[in-house]
């Protein structure tokens, strides 16, 4: 042990990032008697005033530390994909719409993990556990956007395929605070949802079941330490394969010149989400610090084959300001799922990254030409949509997702830090899906609206996603994947990946429930700390699912 490190700087596990995978890990490892530290680069949202009031409060909404904006929403543009992701203690749960669908069977039977287990059978109990922990419940409140979806489903002749979503939101008496309703009083006090339709700017009303209200809160009760505003910059094994442990280097997120600090741990969990984990591991491989990482690192990056399109009501007669953010889902066929997303009143930031015209041409000149044509067809509608008062109030975002395959890779940039996207030989994530356009036009008719798409999508012709996945996929051996079926990194001792980068095929629907369930599954394979009180009490390291969690019932 180096002179600089004393016992208080030494942990059984350090977890890098506090999103879904990181939070599950924090609680389960703490329950098993381990000393755990979570290091999170973003802020900790403890009071309602820490959240932005609207998405125009850019300092609190957007993540752009170089401008002093330390918000919870990060927008990253690569050559082939534009990505929305969440930052802060709780990761993407701070901004997510809390919709928790179960994927169809194709998810379990495709991609690099398909032959490693009977995944459907093995994961079913963990999906149930994830539902319980995230407090998923079917939405009973019907908002205006849900009514639009009901009309849409009739138009499509698919009434049987309409469902209310299950969401991780506390639907008690609106605005009324009560004792913890989920964990037999061990969790925090909560308030009933007031249905303001603004989940994705962070819940100021203590109603969304973000991870700081469940997994992380319970982990802290068990002694887990959480350090916010701290960016992990390196993970060095203390010997060839980490059998003697790791030294983790971090710094204040907002100060590049600040002093680097170090802690040691017997094990490391990478949970920085695709953008955090893949970038850090690529950097470590490139610098020869973790040379044994699989050559598959950064490969099989997927979206949900999504299309994110807006439809804005033109005459101010339709408002989408009530309900949860995503209250409905339609499964138009086995592979296609569409959801309405509300933005909530005042949340008009999306207006400046959106253009109220659909242009799906295959290259930039064609898309520019399409803009002229579409504009010429309906110039007044264009201006009405562009200048509408309160864009958030009058706009629905169409979230269109498919189970179809399409992958690319992230590689380390040739110069400097960071990653670039690279296309392989196979199908790439689709930027423009004609059926999504068709649906957007139907919604235009229903709400007397005008459809639009993101400006960067027009410029780059890139896919856009809030569900970036893959990069550290599972495989039988390190030739086939970065991690094994229990999330252990090939080539290194006690090193794991638990986050969206472990997802090894396309779930085709919002992925957080699957990330949580797969993390629960992987965590169930890690034994209790030897000689811990918990191990002595159960007398076993072989945990059945029931013994595993005090919170399962």
Ligand X SMILES: Cc1cc2nc3c(=O)[nH]c(=O)nc-3n(C[C@H](O)[C@H](O)[C@H](O)COP(=O)(O)OP(=O)(O)OC[C@H]3O[C@@H](n4cnc5c(N)ncnc54)[C@H](O)[C@@H]3O)c2cc1C
Q: Specify the residue, 51 or 528, whose C-beta has the smaller distance to ligand X.
A: 51
Give kind and range of the element (H or E) at residue 263.
strand 261-270
Residue 143, interface with ligand X (CB under 6 A)? Answer: no
DSSP 3-state assignment of 115?
A: coil
Closest separation between CB of residue 541 and ligand X, Å?
26
Catalytic, 286? Answer no
What's the CA gap between 43 and 399, in Å, rounded? 28
Residue 500, interface with ligand X (CB under 6 A)? Answer: yes
Residue-wise DSSP of 21-77: HHHHHHHHHHHTT--EEEE-SS----SGGGS-SSTT-HHHHBEEGGGTEE-SEEEEE
> Crossing angle, helix 364-377 and helix 379-387, to 10 degrees?
100
Footprint (CB under 6 A) of ligand X, residues 13-32: 16-21
Residue 139, interface with ligand X (CB under 6 A)? Answer: no
C-alpha 444: how far from chain center: 29
| Tokens found for residue 268 | 């490391």
Owner of token pair 């992701």: 85
- Candidate list 467, 493, 521, 551, residue with the active-site label: 467
Q: Specify the residue, 168 or 461, whose C-beta has the smaller distance to ligand X.
A: 168
Residue 231, interface with ligand X (CB under 6 A)? Answer: yes
Residue-wise DSSP of 157-209: T-GGGEEEPEESB--SSBT-EES-SSSTT-S--EEB---BS-GGG--TTS-B-
Closest separation between CB of residue 514 and ligand X, Å?
8
Among 14, 15, 81, 87, binds ligand X (CB under 6 A): 87
Region binding ligand X by CB under 6 A among candidate stretches 90-98, 125-133, 171-179, 385-393: 90-98
Residue 505, interface with ligand X (CB under 6 A)? Answer: no
Residue 276, interface with ligand X (CB under 6 A)? Answer: yes
Residue 234, interface with ligand X (CB under 6 A)? Answer: no
Residue 347, interface with ligand X (CB under 6 A)? Answer: no
Among 510, 523, 548, 551, binds ligand X (CB under 6 A): 510
Closest separation between CB of residue 509 and ligand X, Å?
8
Residue 395, interface with ligand X (CB under 6 A)? Answer: no
Closest separation between CB of residue 167 and ligand X, Å?
8
* Close Cβ partners of 407 (under 8 Å, ≥ 6 residues apart): 299, 300, 301, 302, 424, 426, 427, 428, 429, 470
Residue 285, interface with ligand X (CB under 6 A)? Answer: no
Binding mask of the shown chain, residues 303 to 332, with x at each position contacting ligand X by CB under 6 A: -----------------------x------
Residue 248, interface with ligand X (CB under 6 A)? Answer: no
Closest separation between CB of residue 547 and ligand X, Å?
25
What's the CA gap between 22 and 377, in Å, rounded? 50
Binding mask of the shown chain, residues 154 to 193, with x at each position contacting ligand X by CB under 6 A: ----------------------------------------
What's the CA gap between 370 and 352, in Å, rounded? 20
Region binding ligand X by CB under 6 A among candidate stretches 95-103, 142-150, 237-245, 520-528: 95-103
Residue 198, interface with ligand X (CB under 6 A)? Answer: no
Q: Specify the residue, 232 or 463, whose C-beta has the smaller distance to ligand X.
A: 232
Cβ count near 115 (within 10 Å): 10
Give kind and range of the element (H or E) at residue 85.
strand 81-86
Residue 43, interface with ligand X (CB under 6 A)? Answer: no
What's the CA gap between 394 and 317, in Å, rounded? 8
For residue 53, report the phi and psi dihedrals to the nearest 5 degrees: -75, -40
Residue-wise DSSP of 344-403: -TT--GGGGGEESS----SSHHHHHHHHHHHHHH-HHHHHHHHH-S-HHHHEEEEEEEE-
Residue 106, interface with ligand X (CB under 6 A)? Answer: no
Q: Contact 398/309 with Cβ under 8 angstroms?
A: yes
Residue 246, interface with ligand X (CB under 6 A)? Answer: no
Q: Specify the residue, 220 or 538, whose C-beta has the smaller distance to ligand X.
A: 220
Among 85, 402, 403, 457, binds ligand X (CB under 6 A): 85
* Close Cβ partners of 257 (under 8 Å, ≥ 6 residues apart): none
- Please list the active-site residues: 467
Query: Which residues of this chain interact with ligand X, rule CB under 6 A?
Result: 16-21, 39-42, 84-88, 91-92, 95-99, 200, 231-232, 271-273, 276, 280, 326, 466-467, 499-500, 510-513, 515
């Amino acid at each position: 042990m180096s002179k600089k490190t004393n016992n208080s700087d030494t942990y059984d596990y350090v977890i890098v990032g506090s999103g879904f995978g990181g939070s599950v890990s924090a609680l389960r490892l703490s329950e098993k008697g381990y000393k755990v530290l979570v290091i999170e680069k973003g802020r900790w949202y403890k009071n309602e005033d820490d959240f932005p009031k609207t998405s125009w409060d850019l300092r609190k909404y957007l993540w752009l530390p170089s401008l002093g904006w330390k918000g919870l929403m990060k927008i990253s543009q690569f050559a082939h994909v534009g990505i929305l992701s969440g930052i802060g203690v709780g990761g993407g749960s701070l901004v997510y719409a809390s919709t928790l669908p179960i994927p169809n069977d194709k998810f379990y039977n495709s991609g690099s993990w398909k032959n490693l287990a009977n995944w459907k059978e093995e994961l079913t109990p963990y999906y149930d556990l994830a539902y319980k922990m995230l407090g998923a419940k079917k939405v009973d409140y019907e908002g205006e956007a849900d009514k639009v979806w009901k009309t849409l489903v009739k138009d499509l002749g698919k009434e049987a395929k309409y469902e209310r979503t299950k969401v991780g939101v506390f639907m008690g008496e609106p605005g009324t605070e009560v004792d913890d309703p989920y964990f037999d009083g061990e969790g925090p006090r909560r308030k009933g949802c007031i249905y303001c339709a603004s989940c994705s700017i962070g819940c100021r009303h203590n109603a969304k079941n973000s991870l700081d209200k469940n997994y992380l809160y319970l982990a802290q009760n068990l002694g887990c330490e959480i350090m916010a505003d701290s960016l992990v910059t390196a993970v060095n094994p203390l010997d060839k394969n980490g059998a003697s442990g790791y030294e983790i280097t971090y710094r204040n997120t907002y100060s590049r010149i600040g002093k680097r600090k170090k802690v040691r741990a017997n094990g490391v969990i990478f949970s920085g989400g695709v953008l955090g984990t893949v970038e850090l591991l690529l950097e470590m491989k490139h610098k020869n610090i973790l040379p044994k990482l699989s050559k598959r690192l950064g490969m099989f990056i997927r979206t949900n084959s999504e299309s994110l399109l807006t439809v804005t009501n033109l005459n101010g007669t339709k408002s989408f300001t009530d309900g949860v953010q995503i209250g409905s889902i339609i499964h138009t066929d086995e592979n296609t799922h569409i959801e309405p997303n509300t933005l909530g009143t005042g949340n008009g930031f999306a207006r400046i990254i959106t253009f109220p015209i659909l242009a799906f041409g295959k290259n930039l000149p064609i898309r520019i030409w399409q803009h002229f044509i579409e504009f010429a067809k309906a110039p007044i509608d264009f201006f009405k949509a562009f200048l509408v008062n309160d864009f958030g109030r009058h706009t629905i975002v169409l979230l269109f997702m498919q189970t179809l395959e399409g992958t690319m890779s992230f590689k380390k940039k040739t110069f400097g830090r960071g990653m670039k996207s690279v296309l392989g030989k196979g199908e790439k994530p689709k930027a423009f899906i004609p059926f999504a356009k068709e649906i957007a036009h139907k919604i235009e008719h229903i709400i007397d609206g005008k459809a639009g798409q993101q400006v960067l999508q027009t410029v780059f012709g890139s896919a856009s996603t809030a569900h970036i996945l893959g990069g550290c996929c599972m495989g039988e051996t390190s030739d086939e994947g970065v991690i094994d079926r229990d999330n252990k990194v090939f080539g290194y001792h006690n090193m794991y990946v638990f986050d969206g980068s472990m997802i090894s095929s396309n779930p085709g629907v919002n992925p957080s429930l699957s990330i949580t369930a797969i993390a629960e599954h992987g965590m169930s394979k890690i034994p209790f700390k030897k000689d811990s009180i918990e191990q002595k009490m159960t007398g076993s390291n072989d945990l059945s699912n029931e013994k595993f969690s005090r919170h399962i019932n």
